[in-house]
Structure 1
Amino acid sequence: MEERLKKLRKSMKETTFRNVNFTEDQQESIRKAISKSGESDEMIYSAILQLTTIEKTGYDLAKVILARGIKRFEDNEGLLYTLLHGMEQKGYLHIRWDEEGAKYYRISDKGRKVLARSEGKATKKKLAFSELLEG
């Protein structure tokens, strides 16, 4: 499938995007939209892994992520599904399809290890900052 996507991208560059030009203002607007509220990729991955300790659909994840204040996917849920697919491909998530065709995501053992390391780093950062503030 990767090869098909590469061919699609090449085809789109040669046809669809050939005459598309962005001004500096438009480029800046796009950059701001992508980094919407300054959420780091690590923070988003951690949130997804934390939330999938209980099996959830992509729709459920999108709602809970938005409720957590992560706005990167607010107007572009497709980006979330792309991220979920990548995490599935890397072995961080298991998937299950139900009888009605809904796809459910759940953290894998590999994902739990990554989450534990991430939470360990976050704890170390908090300790370092609290020491700085107190000292």
Structure 2
Amino acid sequence: MNDPFLNFKKSMKKNVFKDLSFTEERKARVNEAIQSKHSYSTLHSFNEKTVLSILESLQLEAKHGFDISTQLFQKEEHSFLHNEGQLYTLLHLLEKKEILTSMWREDKKFYALTAKGRKYLAAAFKKGYAKQPFLLKELLEEASL
């Protein structure tokens, strides 16, 4: 699906933000501030089925947030229907826990499972979590080993 703001973003980069740059030190401090606000307990506030659905959607290929959101909506998972920003919060938390990794392609951030994420998902299926709600805490602990 085409990004309707792609030309706008490119124009902003060329004109408005062309002289704006941040030092690596400033970028690191901003990242630290963001990461310190997201604690482990924040991850537990998300629905376990939602986390599993996201991981399943990334099982075969990397996807960007909009594709993940669309796939969740098609599965009638409406957790992020009125607050799509929470999906990105969850994706960043999973990335911080090294369950997901990300890469930029054509001005879009794509998410993919890491080896740890694949083990996490395999453990979920092996233990039958795909058929019933699973304990996110237990799986996160397994994934962090």
Equivalent position to 2:73, from 57, 66, 75 = 66
What is residue 103 of structure 1 aligned with on the other side? Answer: 109
RMSD: 2.7
**Mapping 1:75-94, distance limit 5 Å:** 75-94=82-101
What is residue 51 of structure 1 aligned with on the other side? Answer: 57
How does the TM-score come out when normalised to structure 1?
A: 0.61
| Alignment: residue pair count | 95
- Counterpart of 1:4 in structure 2: which amino acid? A
- Percent same amino acid among aligned pairs? 35
- Partner secondary structure for residue 128 of structure 2: helix
- Partner secondary structure for residue 45 of structure 1: helix
| Residue 77 of structure 1, CA deviation | 0.5
Instruction: Provide closer, same or farther for how the CA distance between residues 63 and 124 of structure 1 changes in structure 2, counting only shifts above 3 A.
Output: closer
- Counterpart of 1:85 in structure 2: which amino acid? H
